[in-house]
Amino acid sequence: MTDIAASSEAIKIDIWSDIACPWCYIGKRKLEFGIEEYASTEGSVPVEIEYHSFELSPDTPVDFDGDEIEFLSGHKGIPAEQASQMLERVTGIASSVGLDYDYDALKHTNTVKAHELMHYAKAHGLQLEMKERLLKAYFVEGRHVGRIDDLADLAAELGLDRADVVRSLESGENVAAVRADQRQAQELGIQGVPFFVFEGKYGVSGAQDPATFAQVLAQVAGERVEVGS
Amino acid sequence: MTATDARAGVPAPATTPVPTVTPLLTVLGAPGASCEGDSCSF
């Protein structure tokens, strides 16, 4: 491989993330802004993104009868008023990156099937589109992302074969892939999400500002040039 | 090291290399807002 090829090869970002994770959607947007910022610099190289499964709360039931405030107060013991203030704050931050979170409509659910669908979509070349669709469905549209039929509807919107998605989710054929992602997260010491791994060696935790992501990309690209020179 | 070595005060040969700990990841910067378990930093 020539030095030029080595330096122009896409920078890989592996992202561990959940669907029911307000900072994961905000972090996704901030990363995208950061990539745009980095891409506008001279000599920038393409970026390749791959999402990995991370279940924050695997014991959450598929159907939770109540809203997010009731979940936080009932599950976490946070007083309802405080929970309301917390959601108001995160909604404001989401809005600052162009995301219109609707916690009144949000349907709290278990996300393992959504993660299985992410792996299905990856196998069909639509992982990034599926991630965006699932996050938007959950945080903005108040759609259910825990039931197979609802997930199949979302997948079909992207052009995936609805019947085959139902078959896949009912069979659980991607559960092993979800678990493998979670094992890898554990091996890497990832405890919270979103978590971004650049080129398999640098970790960036949480929904950082776009400038931070741009800076890390520039650093990774710069190190390639140093190694190649 | 054998008991005989210890009694004689003979230093044990360094047969076991000191393991090199290589972190899997270098974490850059301070953590940003994130969720851990069913708890998020709000």
Interface contacts A/B by beta carbons within 8 Å? 82
- The answer to whether residue B39 scores a pLDDT higher than 60 is yes
Read off the pLDDT of residues A57-96 as tens digits, 9 standing for 90 and up.
Answer: 999 899 988 888 888 888 778 888 988 999 999 999 999 9
Q: Which residues of B touch A207 (CB under 8 A)?
A: 32-34
CB contact under 8 A, B35 and A86: no
Name residue B27's beta-bridge partners.
A203
Judged by average pLDDT, the poorest of A34-48, A88-102, A184-198, B24-38 is B24-38
Residue A95 tokens, joined: 């809005």
Q: Which residue has the tokens 């990363």?
A: A31
Q: How far is A202 from chain B (nearest CA, A)?
A: 5
How confident is residue A4, by pLDDT bands cut at 50, 70 and 90? very low
When the pLDDT of each residue in chain A is averaged and rounded to a whole number, the result is 93
- The answer to whether residue B5 scores a pLDDT higher than 70 is no
Q: Which of B27, B28, B32 is nearest to A21 (CA)?
A: B32
How confident is the model at residue A133, as a pLDDT?
Answer: 98
Q: How many domains does chain A have?
A: 1
- Could you tell me which residues come within 8 angstroms of residue B9 by beta carbon, excluding any fewer than 6 positions away? none
Please report, for the domain that includes residue A179, its CATH number: 3.40.30.10
Residue A113 sits in which domain range?
3-228
> A55 touching B, CB under 8 A?
no
User: Which ipTM value was assigned to this complex?
Assistant: 0.86
| Mean pLDDT, residues A170-177 | 98
Q: Which residues of A touch B33 (CB under 8 A)?
A: 23, 26-27, 93, 206-207
Q: Which of A135, A140, A118 is nearest to A21 (CA)?
A: A135
**Which residues of B lie closer than 8 Å to A, measured between beta carbons?**
24-29, 31-42
| Mean pLDDT, residues B29-36 | 91
Q: Which residues of A touch B39 (CB under 8 A)?
A: 76
Helix (H) or strand (E) holding A223: helix A210-228
